[in-house]
Homo-oligomer: A and B are copies of this chain.
Amino acid sequence: MSTAPPGPPGPHWFGLGDVLTEHARTRPDDTAVVCGTHRSSWSELDRRVCALAAVLASRGLAPGERLLWLGQNCHRLLEALFAAARLGAVLCPVNWRQSVDELRFVLTDAEPSVVLWQAVEIGEAVAAARVDTARVDTSRVDTTRVDTARVGTVGSAHWIQHDDPGPDGYEALLAAAQPVAAAPVDPAGPVLMLYTAAFNGRPNGALLSQTALLSQTTTLLLLEGVGADEVFLNSGPLFHIGTLRRTLAVAHAGGRNVMLRRVEPELLAELVQAQRCTSAFLQRPTMEQLVALGGRYDLSSLRTPPGPPGWDELVTVQRGARVRSGYGQTELAGVVTFSMPERPTVGGLPGPLATVEVLDPAGVPVGVGEVGELAVRGPMVMNGYHRRPELTAAKRRHGWHHTGDLGRREPDGSLSFVGPLRKMIKSAAENVYPAEVEASLRRHSGVAKAAVIGLPDATWGQRVLAVVVPAATTADPEPTTLAEQLIEHCRRELAGYKRPRLVEFVDALPTRDGGTDYDALDARFGGGGYPGTG
């Protein structure tokens, strides 16, 4: 599953390597990427990718094998992705913000053949993780391993420091390489692996094909108007699909990517001004920091929707007309539903290359207005998780990609995201999704936070318990009164079997990994009896 089947090239094959080949011919002198003082035209990028592919092949990176990027945003990451595409290999840009323990897990799990790593800023953590990995690798017996023929790959991976200016560094190797001509690669094979979906405490590597990436970028070209005139500031991390999908869309269109190693407002503003960036990956806190710089930089080249106070005066505001991204996830190479300005809907509409369904646990579509699991079919769906055949099979049961998220089809045909699926409560024959009940509780003015769990019930299998942090600002009713009000509130908003039978009040919800710790709630309040994989 993780390797493209070998075979003769087909006349249908079109991938990222072909995109690069065409740009190098049709816009050879346009700037493709800017990174610090480095600037590559499309023809120069093509030459560098050819050289890198030769270096990686000579270091043993075979089709289907993993190439790790242990570094920050850089033009060389983009080169590594194109080189992987040309070789039929898989690039995995690793989250460099992780702890040594987390890095070690990824290094072990990914089984890379080659690692491109960075010394600046993150070299110590990388070195620590590497030592541990080597130690683990020689002693372990890994029963989760699928491909036993390649045991030991991690320990024997070739490490290349991309920011080493010496004779063993990336640039020296490129300069000495004997580039070979690009051969066609089956675009249905994986080319990108992103760790995500830590269902059970450890992340899983989602494998995305070239076809998946190009389906996503084509959708962005079409719906979000990405074009050859875009100068995109890569101000979000490239190990996350949120930024990377636009990086690739801009490259697909023949536009320009400007790299930013890490988000610092002053540096970001300088780059926008110097490179006349037209777009950037911007979240609200960053926009507020840019406003706080007090107009010292010319950001007028940025075309954005309206922003926080002071923002609209700094940039070129584009009102109304733009499509907005809706629901998406790493396993879908990005976004699959969009709000269309000319067609206002409650939720998002599927893009032109995807179909979305709302399924019950048996794989049967639920009715309009009912909550079920969002499921997707389309060329942007991942090939599966690296080394997780059972999890992969579970995600694609009934011929659909199961997102693990709850959604609802609205009467206008659009799709609303409700919340993560997590554990499901089963009350008699009925399915109760905690996220849906929690959303209802949070709409009550007396609630600050809410979590819903299931208690074992001799008669009904399970009954619904709401754990609530009361809102500080409300007049303080008796807990009993508030509990009754909340149950009544849910009775009005939800089907009867979904409403809580009991409400417990707490000062704070226990958390883990940034979210509510449901296991702790189960332990404290006696939750249990969940059906399915729980």
Over the window 348-373 of chain A, the binary record of Cβ atoms lying under 8 Å from chain B Cβ atoms (1 yes, 0 no) is: 01101111000000000000000000
A379 adjacent to B14 (CB under 8 Å):
yes
Question: Does A184 lie at the interface of the complex (its beta carbon under 8 Å from any beta carbon of B)?
Answer: yes
From B14, B19, B355, B412, A14 is in contact (CB under 8 Å) with B355
| Given A25-B413, A26-B414, A28-B413, A12 and B353 contact (CB-CB distance below 8 Å) | no
Residues of B within 8 A of A345 (CB): 26
Interface-lining segment among A128-136, A396-404, A514-522: A396-404
Q: Is the CB of A377 within 8 A of B28?
A: no
Interface string of A207-218 (1 = CB under 8 A from B): 000011010001
Q: In the complex, are the beta carbons of A214 and B353 less than 8 A apart?
A: yes
Query: In the bound complex, what is the Cα–Cα distance between A447 and B378 (angstroms)?
Result: 55
Chain B residues whose C-beta falls within 8 Å of the C-beta of A18 in the assembled complex = 355, 377-378
Count of residues in A whose CB is under 8 Å from the partner chain: 50
CA of A8 to CA of B396, assembled, Å? 11
CB of A525 within 8 A of chain B?
Answer: no
Interface residues of A in 243-260 (CB under 8 A from B): 252-253
A349-B11 contact, Cβ under 8 Å, with A18-B355, A218-B222, A377-B184 = no
A21, CB-defined interface residue at 8 Å: yes
A253 to B10, alpha carbons, bound, how many Å?
A: 29
| Segment 201-256 of A: residues with Cβ below 8 Å from B | 211-212, 214, 218, 221-222, 228-229, 252-253
**CB neighbours of A353 from chain B (8 A):** 14, 214, 218
Inter-subunit contact A399/B221 (CB<8 Å): no
Chain B CB within 8 A of A13 CB: yes
Shortest C-beta distance, A341 to chain B (Å), equals 12
Chain B residues within an 8 Å CB radius of A413: 25-28
Within 8 Å CB of A350, what residues of B?
22, 26
Of residues 93 through 133 on chain A, the ones whose CB sits less than 8 Å from some CB of chain B are none
Q: Are A12 and B222 in contact (CB under 8 A)?
A: no
- Chain B residues lying within 8 Å of A11, measured Cβ to Cβ, are 376-378, 381, 395-396, 399-401
User: Do B13 and A399 have beta carbons less than 8 Å apart?
Assistant: yes
Which residue of chain B lies nearest to A26 when distances are taken between CB atoms in the complex? B413
- Most B CB atoms within 10 A — which of A12, A349, A354? A12
Contacts of A352 in B (CB 8 A): 19, 218, 221, 252-253
- A400 to B14, alpha carbons, bound, how many Å? 11
Q: Is the CB of A377 within 8 A of B12?
A: yes
Q: What's the Cα separation between A412 and B27 when bound, in Å? A: 8
In the complex, A204→B381 CA distance in Å?
A: 35
Closest residue of B by beta carbon distance from A357:
B21
Whether A48 sits at the interface, judged by CB under 8 Å, is no
Residue of B nearest to A27 (CB): B413
CA distance A320 to B501 in the complex (A): 67
| A378 x B12 contact (CB < 8 A) | yes
Cβ contacts under 8 Å, A252 to chain B: 352
Interface string of A308-345 (1 = CB under 8 A from B): 00000000000000000000000000000000001101
User: Which residues of chain B have C-beta atoms less than 8 A from A253's C-beta?
Assistant: 352
**Is A409 part of the contact surface with B, judged by Cβ < 8 Å?**
yes
Residues from chain B with a CB closer than 8 A to the CB of A10 are 377, 396, 399
Query: Which positions in A face B, CB cutoff 8 Å?
Result: 8-14, 18-19, 21-22, 25-28, 184, 188, 211-212, 214, 218, 221-222, 228-229, 252-253, 342-343, 345, 349-350, 352-355, 376-379, 381, 395-396, 399-401, 409, 412-414
* 6 further interface pairs, Cβ-Cβ under 8 Å (given A18-B377, A22-B355, A228-B342): A9-B399, A10-B377, A12-B381, A14-B378, A18-B378, A26-B413
